[in-house]
Structure formats: structure tokens, C-alpha cells
Amino acid sequence: MKILLIFILYLISGTVDCSHVTGFSGGSIIMISDIQWDPSHTKYICKMGQSDCNDIIRFRSQSHHVQYKRFLLYRNTGGSFLVMIRKLKPQDAGMYRFGVEDQSNYTVNLKVRNDASCGVPKIMNANLGQNITVTCNYPGEYGKNNKYVITLDDETQIKPIIDTQTISEKSRFSISDDRSAKVLSVNISDVRETDGVFYLFGVWNKGASVGYYSYFTEIQLHVTGTYMTTSAAQREIPSGAEYSNSSAIISVCVCVALLLIGGLALMIYKLRCKRTHDSTNFSTFIQEET
Ligand SMILES: *[C@@H]1O[C@H](CO)[C@@H](O)[C@H](O)[C@H]1NC(C)=O
Ligand SMILES: *[C@@H]1O[C@H](CO)[C@@H](O)[C@H](O)[C@H]1NC(C)=O
Ligand SMILES: *[C@@H]1O[C@H](CO)[C@@H](O)[C@H](O)[C@H]1NC(C)=O
């Protein structure tokens, strides 16, 4: 009876006072709050010690994005305050508070688990134009969860790439989730130079007050070689004829750029739509406002 009471008290205090957030060693988390990113107030994240909360980031500027080491605070396109912690270490476990000074804040209890092994090398190589498959073994209990893949470039710009929930459209990326083997695979066809970024694989968790994505692992893709489309390869450009072909190459580049911009716009539009339909999560939209 006493135990039951303690358990109930624990449950109550757990949901009222703070959210539990579980990450994986070597992985990353993105916490999504409903706090509005207010440019005129100080924003911060601190880690709670014995008596005070020790600042990791505290800043006040017009910027939508601030990074210190593995910690990143940013504003998403919905104007919300997001926190990313990358490459988690066991010693990152503990209580954190983040938010906007004099407005609102959240306290979360971060746990860092050790048992997610993606079972793949952290770095993959690909040649331009190649089709590749990136696979990731994920923890058993996530068999039924939707999986999400994002990319991060050197400027830590976050881009949602693909997930198992959204019906995949014609795109260079496709995803499949073998739930019995617990293997997630992402195919990238016709690899481009811009694909040479970090790929993060994870699941969404809806917490009591803060929802979060937990990414098991990240894989860096190195893209090498010179680009040759199959048609260009068949044409076989004779040496010395580069100049006459340069205008054709430029127009191809412009077309590709336009297609990419169009595709990106469509993707952003789709994600916006998805977000407005997704009423159960206050905001699962992780794209940064630019
Ligand atoms: C955090 O928010 C609570 C109420 O939501 C407030 O009482 C408290 O003063 C805030 N703490 C800080 C450090 O801003
Ligand atoms: C990924 O590519 C492999 C090999 O080319 C293929 O067997 C598999 O069906 C593809 N998966 C998806 C989701 O497109
Ligand atoms: C790469 O994949 C695309 C579409 O998924 C396919 O049309 C193309 O033939 C593949 N190329 C190679 C070299 O396998």
C-alpha cells in the first residue's frame, strides 16, 4: 500500500514537475517546446547542479540560432523554441532547464542510454551519381514507432529528409523499415554533392510537456568523384570541346537548381501541411527558421 502510494506520488511529481527525456549515447535529441522564441528576451539552457543551474548557453540577440559545442538553441518556422543536444555522452544525463527569461521555461530530466548500436560505420563514402543504401539497426522497443531521418550540414542547419509516416513522393530518397529485423534503410539515388552531410535516424516521443525526437545515431556521408549523368557519359564529350558545351552545362545546372528549389519548396509546403494536420503534437516541426 505504502509502495503504491509512493509510486502514485512519483507518477504525479514526475508528470507535473518535469519531463523525462531519453537519449542514446552517441545519438542526439531535439526537444520541442511550446515556448515562443522571443527575440527581445534572453534565452538560455542550464544544467542543474546542487544549488544553482549552471548556464550552458545564455544569450540575447536577434539570431534564430545559437550553438555552443554540442548544444544548439533555435527557432523553428512555427516560432517555437527548440533545443538540440548532439553526440550525447553518459555524463550529459541530468536535469536541464531551458526557456526564455521572464517568460517561461521547462525542466527536463535527461537520461542517456547506452544500448543503441546502429551497427554501421559512422562514415560512409559514395560517388557522385551513385545509388546507395544507408542502414541502421534500432533498439527493439521502437519496432512500432514511426522513424524520422534528418540531415545536418556543417552549419548545423537541420533538414527533415524522410520518414516512415509520410507517403513518399517521387524523390531521390526512399525509406523502408523492417520491423521484424529492426532495421531501417534509406536509399539515396543519384547522389549529389549536397548529400555529403550528417544523417540522423530517430523516433518521436510525446512527453508530458516537451515532445522530443531521439536520434539513435548519426552517419556522415562523404561524397567524392566527378559528376556524370548517364546521358552525359553516353555522349562522351571530346576533349577541347568544353567551351562549346559550357553553356549547355550551365543551363543544365540552372535546371537542376530550379528543380531542387521547387522540390524543397514542395517539401516545406508538405511539412507545413503535415504539421497543421498533426494536432496531437503541438509542434513536431523541426525545420529552422531562416
Ligand atoms: C520558470 O518558470 C516558472 C513558472 O513557469 C517560474 O516560477 C520560475 O521563476 C521560472 N524560472 C526561471 C529561472 O525563470
Ligand atoms: C533500396 O535499394 C535496394 C537495392 O537497390 C532495393 O532492394 C530496395 O527495395 C530499395 N528500398 C527502397 C525503400 O526503395
Ligand atoms: C538508381 O536508382 C534510380 C531510381 O531509383 C534508377 O532509375 C537508376 O537506374 C539507378 N541507377 C543505378 C546506377 O543503379
| Tens of pLDDT, residues 29-88 | 999 999 999 889 999 999 999 999 999 999 998 899 999 999 999 999 999 999 999 999
Q: Quick check: CB of 125 below 6 Å from ligand 2?
A: no
- Using DSSP, state whether 120 is helix, strand or coil: coil
Calpha distance 208→185 (Å, rounded): 30
pLDDT at 254: 57
Q: Quick check: CB of 189 below 6 Å from ligand 3?
A: yes
**Nearest atom (ligand 2) to Cα of 131:** 5
Mean pLDDT of 253-273: 53
pLDDT at 237: 39
Q: Quick check: CB of 63 below 6 Å from ligand 3?
A: no
Cell of 153: 550540414
Q: Which residue's CA lies nearest to atom 6 of ligand 2?
A: 187
Q: Is the pLDDT of residue 217 over 60?
A: yes
pTM, entire model: 0.75
CATH match for 15-224 among 2.40.50.90, 2.60.40.10, 3.30.70.20, 3.30.360.10: 2.60.40.10
Task: Give the distance (Å) from ligand 2 centre to CA of residue 187.
Answer: 6
State the chain's mean pLDDT as an integer. Answer: 79
Cross-sheet strand order for the sheet of 132-137: 132-137, 183-188, 173-178
Calpha distance 134→130 (Å, rounded): 13
Task: Render pLDDT for 147-167 as a digit per residue (tens, 0 to 9).
Answer: 999 999 988 889 999 999 887
Residues with CB under 6 A from ligand 1: 101, 104-105
Burial of 287 (0-12, 13-18, 19+ CB in 10 A): buried
Q: Which residue's CA lies nearest to atom 7 of ligand 1?
A: 104
pLDDT at 86: 93
**CA nearest to 83, candidates 31, 152, 8, 23:** 31
Task: Give the distance (Å) from ligand 2 centre to CA of residue 37.
Answer: 41
Mean pLDDT of 160-189: 90
- What is the percent of the chain with per-residue pLDDT over 90, rounded to a whole number? 54
Nearest ligand to the C-alpha atom of residue 35: 1
pLDDT band at 22 (very low <50, low <70, confident <90, very high): very high
